[in-house]
């Protein structure tokens, strides 16, 4: 691997420590923020708009798109709730597991057919509550069980084998790869394996921003269906105390958003016809929220962050376990104001 394999990320914000303001810089969080239009033209950027970053769960709307394009929703009597779950990184709450079971039942599949693995429901890490010792996590609790249920539904729709649905050469995965390439145009993409064992792709941040711009503002019926499902049911896309739920409620139907593991966040703003892609290179989820709040504020989308449900992530003070302020966050990037 050469240095050219690394995206040219820049410092996005610093954290300080010390009694005298602003303190001494202790940590630097590197990454990139890219704003693009529906053609992939960069409207604003801090860092690298062209370097490859694995899309992780921000890819989920494109992974669900082939099923929608082929009429799968109508074929199995599925609606916007089921589609929202196919695009989700959910909390494993009862509403999520029951909806995943409903998708599987409609397509004549079983929880045992899911190959995503199992983990403790994300609800507990999101809320700080303790997972009951009696709860035995199943594949239904996995945050990607909705996506995998969608894969199985695609296989049933076309008469493909269920057992090999995660094979990179399985028809459903080939169709998804072609869909991603369709959105990325001539730009190269690189394949890998996601945390849930599904194929995933690294693509330029400008292309991810373009995907979310089109998801928000394109009038193609299939993209409209995805946008409606995600913005109508943000609780199903994420869950209690989660970033995407908070952001989409703040956007009041104008913002479609999706997190991805290891430092990814993507947003589409319908009224402005723009998409935003964010990567924090050290994969710190709290840092992603800080950068997202700062980017939205600088772009003019979040004028008074402290008065919103996302305000605690805007230039937060750092406190220790006693609540004593030990430092602060300092933004190190600058985007143009695009609103107002």
Confidence of residue 340 (pLDDT cuts 50, 70, 90): confident
pTM across the whole model: 0.96
Locate 213 and state its tokens: 């711009």
Instruction: Flag whether 336 is in a domain.
Output: no
338 within some domain:
no
For residue 237, being part of any structural domain is answered with yes
The per-residue pLDDT for range 169-200, each reduced to its tens digit, is 999 999 999 999 999 987 889 999 999 999 99
- Listed in sequence order, the residues at least 6 apart from 311 whose beta carbon sits closer than 8 Å to its beta carbon are 293, 305
Report DSSP letters for 98-164, one per residue: HHHHHHHHHTT--GGG--S-----HHHHHH-PPPPTT----GGGSTTHHHHHHHHHHHHHHT--STT
Please check whether residue 340 lies inside any domain of the structure. Answer: no
131 has pLDDT over 90:
yes
Domain CATH number, residue 182:
3.40.710
How many CB atoms lie under 10 A from the CB of residue 103?
Answer: 23
The per-residue pLDDT for 3 is 47
Domain that holds residue 43: 3-331
Residue 266 inside a domain? The answer is: yes
pLDDT per position as a tens digit, 55-103: 999 999 999 999 999 999 999 999 999 999 999 999 999 999 999 999 9
- Chain Cα centroid distance, residue 252: 18
Domain for residue 152, yes or no?
yes
In a domain, 8, yes or no: yes
Q: What is the distance between the alpha carbons of residues 191 and 182, in angstroms, rounded to a whole number?
A: 15
Rounded CA-CA distance 313/319 in Å is 13
Q: Would you say residue 225 lies in a domain?
A: yes
Domain count, the chain: 1
How far is the C-alpha of 206 from the C-alpha of 100, rounded, in Å?
32
Distance of alpha carbon 233 from alpha carbon 256, whole angstroms: 11
CB-side neighbour CA atoms (13 Å) of 93: 20
Could you tell me what percent of the chain has a pLDDT over 90?
Answer: 94
């Amino acid at each position: 691997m050469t240095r050219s394999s690394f995206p040219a990320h820049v410092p996005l914000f610093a954290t300080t420590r010390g009694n005298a303001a602003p303190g001494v810089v202790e940590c630097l969080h590197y990454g990139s923020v890219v704003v693009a239009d529906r053609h992939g033209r960069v409207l604003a950027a801090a860092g690298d708009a062209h370097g490859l970053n694995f899309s992780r769960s921000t890819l989920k709307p494109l992974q669900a798109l082939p099923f929608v394009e082929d009429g799968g929703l109508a074929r199995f009597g599925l609606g916007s709730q089921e589609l929202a779950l196919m695009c989700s990184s959910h909390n494993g709450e009862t509403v999520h597991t029951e909806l995943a079971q409903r998708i599987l039942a409609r397509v004549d599949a079983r929880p045992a057919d899911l190959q995503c693995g199992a983990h403790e429901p994300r609800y507990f890490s999101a809320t700080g509550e303790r997972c009951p010792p009696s709860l035995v996590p199943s594949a239904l609790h996995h945050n990607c069980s909705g996506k995998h249920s969608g894969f199985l539904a695609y296989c049933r729709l076309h008469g493909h084998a269920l057992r090999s649905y995660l094979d990179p050469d399985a028809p459903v995965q080939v169709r998804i790869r072609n869909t991603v390439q369709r959105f990325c145009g001539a730009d190269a993409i690189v394949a890998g394996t996601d945390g849930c064992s599904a194929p995933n792709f690294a693509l330029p941040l400008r292309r991810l921003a373009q995907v979310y711009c089109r998801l928000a503002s394109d009038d193609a019926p299939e993209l409209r269906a995805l946008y409606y499902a995600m913005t109508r049911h943000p609780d199903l896309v994420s869950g209690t105390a989660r970033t995407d739920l908070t952001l989409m409620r703040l956007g009041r139907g104008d913002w479609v958003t999706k997190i991805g593991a290891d430092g990814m966040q993507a947003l589409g703003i319908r009224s402005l016809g723009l998409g935003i892609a964010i990567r924090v290179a050290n994969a710190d989820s709290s840092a992603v929220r800080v950068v997202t709040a700062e980017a939205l504020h600088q772009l003019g989308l979040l004028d008074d962050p402290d008065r919103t449900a996302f305000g605690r992530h805007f230039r937060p003070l750092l406190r220790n376990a006693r609540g004593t302020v030990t430092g602060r966050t300092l933004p190190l990037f600058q985007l143009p104001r695009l609103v107002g």
